[in-house]
Structure 1
Amino acid sequence: MLPGSIQISGETLSSTEVKDICEGLKENSVRLLSLRGCHLSDRDFSQVCRSVSETHSLIQLNLNLGVLATINRVKQLAEALNGNRSIQSLFLHGSPLTDAGLALLNPALAMHPSLISLDLGDCMLADEGINLICGLLPPDGAKSGLKELTLSANPAVTSKGWARLAIAVAHSSQLRVLNLDYNPLGDHIAGMLAVAVSSSRTLEVLDLEGTGLTNQSAEILLDMVENYPTALMKLILVENNISGEIQQQICDLLSEGEEENGETRQLDGRSKNRNTWVPQRSKRDLVPQVVLMTSGLGDGLLTETEM
């Protein structure tokens, strides 16, 4: 366990344990709070939210796997985020949020001054939820927005919703990592995403694992990385009906581009210290050339260690 971190998974928390957590938050001694899959009473959850609202040290909050189980808890979390100023990463993966819950939470997400990483994977979202999320990806010249967005396994989103997201990504001034794995996107949406990636000046990682793609869209993605300059460094295509040859070609081109960019920075005297940022979710190493790794988003951003 890291200093200043509380990480508990799948436990039923007693009131005494919750009291200890709240005291740590109020004393500003907790940087990472992970209650992944934990069970606690509504009263105790309310106490945690009040402490989250008051703390100045918390960088990462993980409530994955059903902790945010009711609309009342969503409202309490929204109030906590309205008071908090320090959280950079919020993980709600596997919460029955729905579009209605996200609508309650969205104003607090949009106004939070520090939030840069958001996981809404498997949150039962549909098109209205995607419309709200697009507002968290402001266009160039607007206020700072998300740098990492996870929307894995939200199959109720239609092609219309994904098209709107692609437009937002194309004009986002901040987004570096987009995880869309295990959504039934298909080749049509993948083609839209290729246009979005080619327009973005910041997107470095795109996860399309298990999204129903074929060689048709893979060839479009190959043409993109071969003929057009992008910021893209990693493209994850495992568990799709795509030939290994095309995947290898894409990987080789992205690797060459990354090496060239690194050499250019050194020759120009603009080499920067870049911290290795391990993503929030480990990926099975089915195709080694598309392992998800990105550069750091800042010294303050902690990684999730339990996913």
Structure 2
Amino acid sequence: MLPGSIQISGETLSGAEIRDICESLRENSVRLLSLRGCQLSERDFGHVCRGAAESRSLAQLNLNLGIVSNINRVKQLAEALKTNRSVQSLFLHGSPLTDAGLALLNPALSIHPSLVALDLGDCMLGDEGINLICGLLPPDGAKSGLKELTLSANPGVTSKGWGRLAIAVAHSSQLRVLNLDYNPLGDQVAGMLAVAVASSRTLEVLDLEGTGLTNQSAQTLLDMVENYPTALRTLILAENNISPELQQQISDLLSEGEEEEETEAREVTTREKNPWICQNNSSSQMVLMTSGLGDSLLAETEM
């Protein structure tokens, strides 16, 4: 039987329910466990952590909205992650971690062999927390790091912290999605992020919704998209003081870039399927007829 999912939201969990969850974890029958906003005792939280530690099937663990509510729970989660080898996505959005809590959790995060997606939005982080997170974005040539990072609504981070993150993103060989929405970034930080995006070979999605940007930073982002080849496909600028015209220009340029990539992908697939196509020299004209078949071969499916 393929592993399934357990998704519970906003409920007070009984001891019997926790026992069932833990049994499923130990039997490796759970791929996704979400206890978003649920209430459970300290003892039962410990049971869940031990079950997660033993599970070989658990790929996504969602403890959003205050589940990890104190330092003791942070320690228990850290111990579970040191043993677990299967979790790919960890969501702690809305947990009062603070920098001190993240410091306790960070060693387990940094050595976890499978973790690629991390949500630390609204976790009361500051600059020290950002410094720790930068360690999860190793530079080119280092070990594999995060591919998706959410840091929404952490207003305690200063421009210095965001600048450090921008440098890490610029040199990260893995990060594809970065969510910074609802942080008071301003135009100065947006300029640093534009440089990071221009340097990154992998970043595809950047969420800057509600981050205090103006036309000044939008113009910088427009120049970046227009003049420098990037992997960026989606740039979210809603709820900022940016003119609709500038937002549309950026969106159009990103769409054009994506269409060009799709065309190139079809041409590559066609060449692979039709080895008789002549490519004798770089100056010869080549005419390709494509049907669009094979597009799905290049698609990548992720949780």
2:113 corresponding residue in structure 1: 113
1:11 corresponding residue in structure 2: 11
| Structure 1 residues 168-179: aligned runs within 5 Å | 168-179=168-179
The TM-score normalised by the length of structure 2 is: 0.90
2:151 corresponding residue in structure 1: 151
- Residue 273 of structure 1: how far off its partner (Å): 3.0
One-letter identity of the residue aligned with 1:263: T
CA deviations 1:170-213 (Å, max 9, x no partner) are 00000000000000000000000000000000000000000000
Unpaired stretches in structure 2, ≥5 consecutive residues: 273-294
- Residue 274 of structure 1: how far off its partner (Å): 5.1
8 Å CA contact 1:14, 1:40 repeated in 2: yes
Unpaired stretches in structure 1, ≥5 consecutive residues: 276-294, 302-307
One-letter identity of the residue aligned with 1:66: G
1:182 corresponding residue in structure 2: 182
Q: Distance in 1 between matches of 2:220 and 2:46?
A: 49
8 Å CA contact 2:187, 2:216 repeated in 1: yes
CA deviations 1:97-120 (Å, max 9, x no partner) are 000000000000000000000000
1:207 corresponding residue in structure 2: 207
2:196 corresponding residue in structure 1: 196
Percent identity of the aligned residues?
78
Higher alpha-carbon Rg: 2
Q: Distance in 2 between matches of 1:75 and 1:273?
A: 43
Q: Distance in 2 between matches of 1:61 and 1:27?
A: 16
1:285 corresponding residue in structure 2: none
The TM-score normalised by the length of structure 1 is: 0.89
| Structure 1 residues 216-235: aligned runs within 5 Å | 216-235=216-235
- Residue 3 of structure 1: how far off its partner (Å): 6.4
Q: How large is the RMSD of aligned CA atoms in angstroms? A: 1.2
Bigger relative contact order, structure 1 or 2 (CA pairs below 8 A, ≥6 apart) = 1
- Residue 296 of structure 1: how far off its partner (Å): 3.4
8 Å CA contact 1:274, 1:296 repeated in 2: no
| Structure 1 residues 72-83: aligned runs within 5 Å | 72-83=72-83
2:127 corresponding residue in structure 1: 127
2:263 corresponding residue in structure 1: 263
SS in 2 for 1:31: strand
- Residue 265 of structure 1: how far off its partner (Å): 1.0
Q: Distance in 1 between matches of 2:297 and 2:222?
A: 30
CA deviations 1:234-293 (Å, max 9, x no partner) are 000000000000000000000000000010011022755355xxxxxxxxxxxxxxxxxx
SS in 2 for 1:149: strand
8 Å CA contact 2:3, 2:57 repeated in 1: no
8 Å CA contact 1:203, 1:232 repeated in 2: yes
Q: Distance in 2 between matches of 1:41 and 1:5?
A: 22
Q: Distance in 2 between matches of 1:273 and 1:219?
A: 36
8 Å CA contact 2:12, 2:40 repeated in 1: yes
